[in-house]
Structure 1
Amino acid sequence: MKELPLADVYRLIEPGPVVLLTTRSRQGRANVMTMSWHMMMEFTPPTLACVVSSDDFSFAALRETKECVIAIPAVELAEKVVKVGNCSGRDTDKFATTWLTPLRAEQVSAPLVAECFANLECRVVDTRLINRYNLFVLEVVKAWIDPGRPKPRTIHHIGNGAFIVDGEVIHFESRMP
């Protein structure tokens, strides 16, 4: 074994695919950001947590409105996802500059992303860890899937501009209900 710098630990345990988080401020401005730091917390109701840095433009809108959409892109959108992550919504209309299409959601004011194969409309249900860790606990209140994309492949960030694309699916017998 060789010692690993602590700053590189996150590269080993990224929890899931890179996603897009959308918000809409009370003034009506929609924004989209790239996010990797999220995790499932509960099955019913579907609850997840995500870290949004207080330095991110989306932080204020998410904290204020307590609503967002988690849009899940397939690998075909990788360049756009990276472009979204490499600019700030403070001075850029990211939907316009990346040619992503915002769609009206049913339960929240934040937009869905048409090009993504899944969109999860979410509401913040626990704010206790925001001040300390920038951690938002979200409940999915409506979920959308594109039935025309039965086996989308997602991208997973492993640091320093590198990504892994999921591949082969393997199955084992499960005894869980």
Structure 2
Amino acid sequence: MKKSLGANTLAQPTPVWLVGTYDEAGQPNLATIAWGGVCCSKPPCVSIALRPATHSHDSILDRKAFTVNVATEAFARQADFCGMASGRDTDKFAATGLTPVKSELVDAPYADELPLILECKLQQSVKVGGHTLFIGEIADVKADEAVLSPEGYPHIEKVQPLIFTPVLRNYHGVGKYLGQAFSIGKELS
């Protein structure tokens, strides 16, 4: 029997993404978010949700751009720090030792050390409760060659993305391989 846990943000897992923006003074910033995901295939888009009180919120609206830097197991401490400190009074790139790189396609920076980057142009924003949902069209995906599969795509075991469990506030790595999508369920048809 299932136990009711009430209305809560218990979907698991959520990503740990560092959202790169420039503020009004042109200072690069990183904000750690867990409310995000792919929201469209054509055109390729992701969505992220930020509270209006965050430093990055208005930066996205002003610059009409952001990057998604996929946090990895190796950078868990830096990702956690970027979620606790405010870009209003902290240079998060300097504090974490990450290197800002200016995107050539969108008006936002990314972290050179992180292996998987999505450069996004703001398509729309929607107020949802206490957050704003930003939908960004992916202008380009940049990946370190070391994390690519033989087919040329990011391989999850090489990227080693950091994942988050809401409410409990735990970080985890990715689990074991279970099978090929759109294939392992065929035996049930």
Contact 2:163–2:173 (Cα < 8 Å) also in 1: yes
After superposition, the Cα gap between the structure-2 partners of 1:2 and 1:99, relative to the gap in structure 1 and judged at 3 Å, is: same
The TM-score, its normalising length taken from structure 2, stands at: 0.83
Cα displacement (A) at 1:39: 1.7
Cα displacement (A) at 1:153: 1.3
1:168 aligns with 2:166: no
Cα displacement (A) at 1:12: 2.9
Cα displacement (A) at 1:131: 7.2
**Which residue of the partner structure matches residue 135 of structure 2?**
137
Cα displacement (A) at 1:173: 5.7
Cα displacement (A) at 1:154: 1.3
After superposition, the Cα gap between the structure-2 partners of 1:12 and 1:91, relative to the gap in structure 1 and judged at 3 Å, is: same
Contact 2:68–2:120 (Cα < 8 Å) also in 1: yes
Deviations 1:43-74 (A, max 9, x none): 12211111011011100101111111101121
Cα displacement (A) at 1:136: 0.8
Q: What is the DSSP-based 3-state SS (H/G/I as helix, E as strand, rest coil) of the residue aligned with 1:167?
A: coil
- C-alpha separation in 1, matches of 2:48 and 2:30: 15
Q: How many residues align?
A: 171
Identity of aligned residues (%): 25
**Which residue of the partner structure matches residue 154 of structure 2?**
none
Runs of 4 or more above 4 Å deviation: none
**Which residue of the partner structure matches residue 3 of structure 2?**
2
1:158 aligns with 2:157: no
Cα displacement (A) at 1:10: 1.5
Equivalences for 1:1-177 in 2 at 5 Å? 1-6=2-7, 9-14=8-13, 16-127=14-125, 129-130=126-127, 133-150=131-148, 151-159=158-166, 160-172=168-180, 174=182
Deviations 1:16-59 (A, max 9, x none): 42010010124311111101101211112211111011011100
Contact 1:17–1:155 (Cα < 8 Å) also in 2: yes
Runs (5+) with no aligned partner, structure 2: 149-157, 184-189
Deviations 1:86-132 (A, max 9, x none): 111111111111111111211112111111111111011123x1476
Residue type at the aligned position of 1:65? R
Q: What is the DSSP-based 3-state SS (H/G/I as helix, E as strand, rest coil) of the residue aligned with 1:32?
A: strand
- C-alpha separation in 1, matches of 2:11 and 2:127: 24
Q: CA RMSD in A?
A: 1.8
